[in-house]
Structure 1
C-alpha cells in the first residue's frame, strides 16, 4: 500500500505538464521555431525530425502524420498558413 501514491500526487509530481500547443499563442515568436501548417504546433527547427522541402523551402512537422497530410495537399496547407500569419 505504501508503494501506491495518492491520485493527486501522481498527477502533479510524476507527470510534468507538457502542453505543446500553448506556445502557439505566445507573443513574440521565438527565433529557430516554425509553426506546423497542418496542426499549428510550434516546432523547434534544430530538433525537427519530420521535414519536407517544398517549393524551395523547408516545412517542419511535429509528427509523421502531419507530414503525410501536408504531402497530400501542400498548397492547401501553405495557403491556410499564410492567411493565419496575415
Structure 2
C-alpha cells in the first residue's frame, strides 16, 4: 500500500494490491435509498477518481459493512468489487 497523500481523508482505506489500487471512502446517510452509498475514490496520487452516488448490485442484496476494508476487492473505474459477488456501481 502506498503512503496516503495528505489530500486523502484519514478514514479512507486502500483497495488494491502491490500493483495498484485506490483509496476508498464510503458513506451512508438517511437521504439515500437502502441500496445507495456515497463514495469518494482517490488515486494513489491523492487526485479524485470518482465522487458521487453508487448503487449496490445485484438488486435486493443485503446491506454491506461499508466501513470494513476487508470486503472490498478492487476498482475498475466504474465499479467497486465486493466479496460475495456484490458490486457498488457508479450512478450516472
Q: TM-score, normalised by structure 2?
A: 0.26
Please say which structure displays the higher CA radius of gyration: 1
Higher relative contact order (CA 8 A, sep 6+): 2
TM-score for the superposition, normalised by structure 1: 0.27
Higher helix share: 1
